[in-house]
Amino acid sequence: MPLVSTREMFKKAYSGGYAIGAFNVNNMEIIQGITEAAKEEKAPLILQVSAGARKYANHTYLMKLVEAAVIETNLPICLHLDHGDSFELCKSCIDGGFTSVMIDGSHFPFEDNIELARKVVEYAHPRNVTVEAELGKLAGVEDEVKVPLHRPIRSRGICHKNRR
């Protein structure tokens, strides 16, 4: 069974009333542990790779490890880029065999983020690759994507020490 996209995987999950686990991976032991557990449960799964994990483990090594997991388990497995920060990274993953990518343009102005997401979708969909896009902004750091907090967060809750 080859790697699958999330399109059919999600369709089956919605109609069957079950969830699909998504797990970030970056080495053989993590991939083995996750896929062996999924095999016992006969559960489809999504293996996610961040940009940092891809740099650390090397794209080719990760692909071969995931291919081995598909052969050993015969499960529907999707390989997903988690929080890709550029078109070039998404394109490289798509061309290299990933079946799903997330483009995170949250570090750009909203209009530029939409345009970036559109460009990734236009490249990915003809290749049967699904796309997730981070269109809003959540302050924090996710691999190479850093989004600053632009305004203070104000609490509207009750101060617990003054509660009676």
CA-based end-to-end distance of the chain: 61
Active-site residue, selected from the candidate residues 82, 95, 112, 143: 82
Q: Is 82 labeled as catalytic in the residue annotation?
A: yes
Tokens of 14: 């919605």
Residues belonging to the active site: 82
